[in-house]
Chains A and B, each alone.
Chain A
Amino acid sequence: MLQLNGLKKQYDTGEWALKGIDLEIPNGQVIALIGPSGAGKSTLIRCVNRLVKPTSGTIHLKGTELTSLSSGALRKARRKMGMIFQEYALVERLTVMENVLSGRLGYVGFWRSYLRKFPEKDVKEAFRLLDRVGLQNMADKRADELSGGQRQRVGICRALIQDPDLLLVDEPTASLDPKTSRQIMRLINELCEERGLTAIINIHDVFLAQMFSQRIVGLELGSVVYDGAPEGLTPEVLTKIYGEEDWTATIETVEDDDENFTP
């Protein structure tokens, strides 16, 4: 279970990105974090794996308090948190296989990783995951040869090979077309279900959020303004999160109409 208590973050510029977040996510739950740009979504998930250091508050993951960890303990804790990024964040000049195996860096020593001699079990798992996401035979390709959707699949493999307890997903579909977006979101969801993973998914797209998650948390100016079921996102709630707009076309009955989607 992931538990945030009074989480605050103030940047050097003096601006408060998070103004006291309390959030409890039970094991195996997938939540969508929605909100306008600058609401603090990215900061929130980066506080969890400490790519950003929170100003105050606590974060507990399965009983471990994350905000006060020493750098060695932090590296151990990071192994159990997989992260998927908006622009895929693959190391472009490395091969697909190296990118996937980089998810094991926290588990192997320097020389093994330097010589690319990962344990047999890790290599097997990497091939299995690539196969699972539909990228068999791509292992030797360089990451920058792949399409956007393919890169994001590699990003997913890199996160999963860490064998994480928690998945932190930052705008996974922001650089993808609508069809690929749905495929990627479905894949992430299926994988979470297969492994019983807890996940926080930052996403702009309200429609996708409703389609793929059990719970929605709305963030605005660093505070939680909505926490509830996808069905509860009424025009009033969306106005509270994003501001005044015509929301009637955004909220649709949640159906899986992947192929007929017209943007």
Chain B
Amino acid sequence: MNTSSQTASYPGSWQKPPFIENPLLRWGLIVGAAVYLTAALGTMEIDIDRVMEGLPRGKRFLDAFFPPNFADNRGVMWEGILESIWMAIISTVVGIALSVPIGLGAAKNLAPTWVYLACRSVIAGSRTFPEIILAIFAVKLFGFGPFAGFIALSLGTIGFFAKLLAEDIENISPVQAEAIRATGASWFQWINYAIQPQVMPRMIGLSVYRLDINFRESAVIGIVGGGGIGATLNTAFSRYEFDTAAAILIIIIAIVMTLEFCSGFLRKRVQ
């Protein structure tokens, strides 16, 4: 403990060490990124005239949406929405049921390497294809209709849910897991007592989130023939019934917002 007045010999300024130590590399990356962005922006042709021309067209288009027509003249709107809700629920439940074993296998701290690699490959495969591509495949295989949509959404759910479950399991507190193992519990008991309580709150939140994603996706995959509200929406557009399309969009927004609210509420409850 030396409190004598030797402060003069210490430097008075200090700087945080840079993230990339080599100055040549550091400045090279910064300048390179700047040049690329400028060049990329320059390549894209932004034609102000075309934008201006498009604006009134956009206004006419929007005007056609109002007032939204909830009358449902052909009686297909509510049918489509119910079908979408049904598709979203079933595909979420089935998708999660398939995701749990795959997610357990894809957690490095639970599974032996070969199981881990196999399960990670399934997840990667599912994540490679967006739902719309999966839906195109499913429609080709099983024909038009909600069954194809259900298959596509279930497969999409695996890539999402199993991956996040595996990552959550990899982040659990290892001592809690160790303590249960030390009691002589079997593997399944260990999962039930040490792993499940730690990952459950997040999984419940994610399930509702995925339900919301599946419902939104059901609107998109309907366009390629996967049934549900998307098919109805597509028909409305092609028949120039923009007021009906607006009504459908408003209902989709309302349902998604409701789900969003529910998932927030649920997550708070289960924490």
B-contacting residues of A (Cβ < 8 Å)? 49, 51, 75-79, 81, 83, 85-87, 89-94, 98, 102-107, 110, 113-114, 155, 158, 162
Binds A, one of B39-47, B67-75, B150-158, B178-186: B178-186
A106 contacts B197, C-beta separation under 8 Å: no
Interface residue ranges of B176-208 to A (CB < 8 Å):
176, 178-186, 188-190, 192-194, 197-198, 200-201
Query: Secondary structure at chain B's binding surface: helix, strand, loop or mixed?
Result: helix
Of A86, A93, A103, which one neighbours B183 at CB under 8 angstroms?
A: A103
Q: Is B20 an interface residue (CB 8 A)?
A: no
A51 contacts B181, C-beta separation under 8 Å: yes
Residue of B176, B182, B193 contacting most chain A CB atoms (<10 Å):
B182
Tally of chain B residues near chain A (CB < 8 A)? 22
A106 contacts B185, C-beta separation under 8 Å: yes
Q: How far is the CA of A89 from the CA of B176 in the complex (A)?
A: 5
A113 contacts B189, C-beta separation under 8 Å: yes
Q: What residues of B have a CB within 8 angstroms of the CB of A76 in the complex?
A: 184
Of B178, B179, B186, B200, which one neighbours A75 at CB under 8 angstroms?
A: B186
A105 contacts B182, C-beta separation under 8 Å: no
In the complex, the chain B residue whose C-beta lies closest to that of A111 is B188
A93 contacts B200, C-beta separation under 8 Å: yes
In the complex, the chain B residue whose C-beta lies closest to that of A108 is B189
Of A93, A102, A107, A113, which one neighbours B198 at CB under 8 angstroms?
A: A93
Q: What residues of A have a CB within 8 angstroms of the CB of B186 in the complex?
A: 75, 105, 110
Q: What residues of B have a CB within 8 angstroms of the CB of A114 in the complex?
A: 188-189, 192
Q: Is B141 an interface residue (CB 8 A)?
A: no
B197 contacts A162, C-beta separation under 8 Å: no
Nearest chain B CB to A147 CB, angstrom units: 18
Nearest chain A CB to B246 CB, angstrom units: 45
In the complex, the chain B residue whose C-beta lies closest to that of A92 is B176
Q: Is B175 an interface residue (CB 8 A)?
A: yes
In the complex, the chain B residue whose C-beta lies closest to that of A155 is B179
A94 contacts B197, C-beta separation under 8 Å: yes
Q: What residues of A have a CB within 8 angstroms of the CB of B184 in the complex?
A: 75-79, 105-107, 162
In the complex, the chain A residue whose C-beta lies closest to that of B189 is A105
Q: How far is the CA of A87 from the CA of B179 in the complex (A)?
A: 11
A91 contacts B180, C-beta separation under 8 Å: yes
B183 contacts A87, C-beta separation under 8 Å: no
